[in-house]
Structure 1
Amino acid sequence: MNQPMGDVLTFGIEEEFFVVDRRGHLSHAGDDVVDAAEAAGDDQGELQHELTRHQAEAATDVCRTHTEALRQLRSLRGDLDGAARRRGYRVLPAAAPLLFDPNPPVITPNPRYERMAEHFGATARTSLTCGCHVHVAIPDKETGVQVLNRIRPWLPALLTVTANSAISDGYDTGYCSWRYQQWSRWPSAGPPPRFASLDEYESIVDGWLRAGSILDRGMIYWDVRLSDKQPTLEFRIADVAAVPEDAVLLGVLARGLVATALADGAPAPHLSNEVLRAQMWRASREGVTGCCPHPKSGDLEPTKAVLDDLVELVAPALEAAGDLEFAREGTARLAAEGGGADRQRRRFAERERAEDVVDLLTGD
């Protein structure tokens, strides 16, 4: 289990976006924008289709440094935005739709997506959200399960870093991450339990498959899961970030947690899933400028203090990867300026027009 702290782990980041028209309403142009951006972009990263035609996805290559990840995210966002604007659309980095749309989303014409929509009905058609996923390299799946057990208590703090869905359907939801509440309706979503072994992890997945609550292993929607396609631990907890700097901050904190867990031989803490689920609810409501349960006590503390303690906990891993200054500056910036949800609320409060929030997030 123990891995030297000096071994820098690779990581990668995936971001989902809405493709909207000039007014900010969801468009059906996601597939066209992805195809056009792929044709015009460079060779770094990857652009992908998503569940609905209102969305587009960007994924970095495997990265070793935060500067590399940041450069790729900026480039991928620019490629998508350029392709969208040439066609009269905009790419919106928001985790929930800002404007109300009475029509159900249009499912991307893909056999798997169409089967999901048929099987899960309104859950698939109304859980319209955009997330940010971070992959961090692990030696093997058995080790990955042990790491997952160790990092579970820090999931609420990680959720606050990119919380970016306060405004949805034209009103203030009262949550900083409304996406997390919406996404939790999927039967396999939410915080993972503390696993006794990889066999227990697999037995739960097998039970889901037998029950038909997932159709394939790609629908394991725990906040953190073992990736089936890569030797990574995949953090699926977060909203798509308002700015790429927040996404990379999430990435380096996740990598720091994994590296610290690999180097630490202490037993995984005992934290019931019922309590962790409640802590996740609180974090999704409060975001970076509110309060968050502290992993060591379970008591509410200012999120700034919890994130500061997280950075100090993983500081040796951050320093080994060249991330420590970036992480400290990023958490200080969030504490001073707020995150995506706070930006949304400030703009919405001016005239109570979600269209203004669209303009803010798209840079118009």
Structure 2
Amino acid sequence: MTGDDLTFGIEEEFFVVDPRGQLSQSGDLVIDSAEEPRGELQRELTRSQVETATDICRTHEEALRQLRGLRGELAEAAAQRGCRLLPCGSPPMAESDLPHITPNPRYERMAEHFGATARTSHTCGCHVHVAIPDRETGVRLISHFRPWLPALLTLTANSAISDGFDTGYSSWRYQQWTRWPSAGPPPEFTSLDHYESIVDAWLRAGAILDRKMVYWDVRLSEAQPTVEFRFSDVAATPEEATLLGVLIRGLVTTILDSTEPAPGLSNEILRAHLWRASREGLSGQCPHPRTGDLAPTAKVISDVVDFAAAALEMTGDLDFVRDGCARLIADGGGADRQRVLFARCGLPGDVVEQFAF
């Protein structure tokens, strides 16, 4: 299988903020007033969020162009209502009120059933879809991809400042999001039946209300013939989101072409690796996907790119990925840049002012 066989798409969630930098409850109105772009604009669980989704992409140039266009269309619609979009994994400012649930029967049912989990897990992520030939292949891919999740989580960690303070985590969003009963790393599946048996048990237990609530860090899409990667914070820039998307595709291509057995990594250990990655982001240490030993994240990311280099070269993405990773290591990821702004005066509004568009 070649990288050209594997199309991909990227979804981004954003907060909608008012002129003071506080969360606005106008997300559904922003969507209503936006012009129809290439791609999709979607409502989210709360009225202070919006979501975009690209069309099918084949090159990093195409993905980047679409992401820039979608952000621009949505920002223009938000500006018409005196608002801006904020690409942060968690709201930097302290909020006095809980977010309002978007008027929608499914969302209202979720809020009633899951209570504070639904109302306080207020996060924005970036989801990458990669095409697969069939669901059996997707399940095999998920089992083999699991060790690479912590390293990739560091790339777009972008939620260090939340609720008015420095959380001590680079991706506080990941800690918040995994409170959902169906969220977190997927197990190492033995078969598609194994995957489906867990989903069925969750449905019978009421831990999910429908199949769209399977929130594993990597899951089979229910709507498209894709595997969906859901672990990442929303990226601070479209360039960083594109970098994540094509690097994931390169890893998928490499793994599907490999004959190596699944790594045999337990979920208990993988959760610990993801915790470390969400805490330290790009500026610290991360468990290495191959050994589990801690190493400087910059070294780990370099090894991840080297692992996927042949696939990235085949699709014309290798230089884009190497340059993007080098920039992130030199300038800091989203979380690092948030901390620099917050450290100046201790004002979370400075983070909003710099990141919002």
1: distance between equivalents of 2:33 and 2:67?
17
What's 1:66 paired with? 60
Tell me whether 1:110 sits opposite 2:104 in the alignment. Answer: yes
The match for 1:21 among 18, 21, 34 is: 18
Counterpart-to-counterpart distance in 2, 1:7 and 1:114: 41
Count the aligned residue pairs: 357
Say which of 85, 90, 96 aligns to 1:96.
Answer: 90
Give the corresponding residue for 1:30.
Answer: 27
Q: With the length of structure 1 as denominator, give the TM-score of the two structures.
A: 0.97
Instruction: Note the C-alpha offset of 1:362.
Output: 1.5
Q: Does 1:178 align with 2:176?
A: no
Tell me the TM-score normalized by structure 2.
0.99
Q: CA separation in 2, counterparts of 1:248 and 1:280?
A: 22
1:11 is the counterpart of 2:5: no
**Which one-letter code corresponds to 2:43 in the other structure?**
H
Match of 1:144 among 121, 135, 138: 138
Residue 23 of structure 2 aligns with an amino acid whose one-letter code is: L
Is the 1:217–1:228 contact (alpha carbons within 8 Å) kept by the matching residues of 2? yes
C-alpha displacement at 1:166, in angstroms?
Answer: 0.2
Pick from 352, 355, 358 the counterpart of residue 352 of structure 2: 358
Q: Which whole-Å CA distance do the structure 2 matches of 1:118 and 1:335 have between them?
A: 42
C-alpha separation in 1, matches of 2:54 and 2:3: 23
The whole-number CA distance in structure 1 between the counterparts of 2:7 and 2:136 is 18
The answer (yes or no) to whether the contact 1:133–1:236 under 8 Å persists in 2 is yes
Unpaired segments ≥5 residues, structure 1: none
Q: Secondary structure at the match of 1:164?
A: coil
- Give SS of 1:322's match: coil
Q: Distance in 2 between matches of 1:330 and 1:191?
A: 26
1:6 to 1:18, Cα distance in 2 relative to 1, 3 A: closer
3-state SS of 1:325 partner: helix
Equivalent residue number for residue 119 of structure 1: 113
Find the residue that maps to 1:241 and give its secondary structure. coil
Secondary structure class of the residue paired with 1:336: helix
CA distance in 2, matches of 1:190, 1:315: 28
Q: Does structure 2 conserve the Cα–Cα contact (< 8 Å) formed by 1:8 and 1:321?
A: no
1:101 CA drift (Å): 1.0
CA 1:10–1:358 in structure 2 vs 1: closer, same or farther (change >3 Å)?
A: same
| Aligned pairs for 1:191-270 within 5 A | 191-270=185-264
Instruction: Give runs of ≥4 in structure 1 deviating > 2 Å.
Output: 5-8
Contact preservation (8 Å) 1:99, 1:170 = yes
Cα distance per residue 1:143-172 (max 9 Å; x no partner)? 111111111100001111111000001100
Is the CA contact (8 Å cut-off) linking 1:8 and 1:320 kept in structure 2? no
1:285 equivalent in structure 2: 279
1:87 equivalent among 64, 81, 86: 81
Q: Per-residue deviation at 1:231? A: 0.6
Deviates more, 1:259-268 or 1:113-122: 259-268
3-state SS, counterpart of residue 18 of structure 1? strand
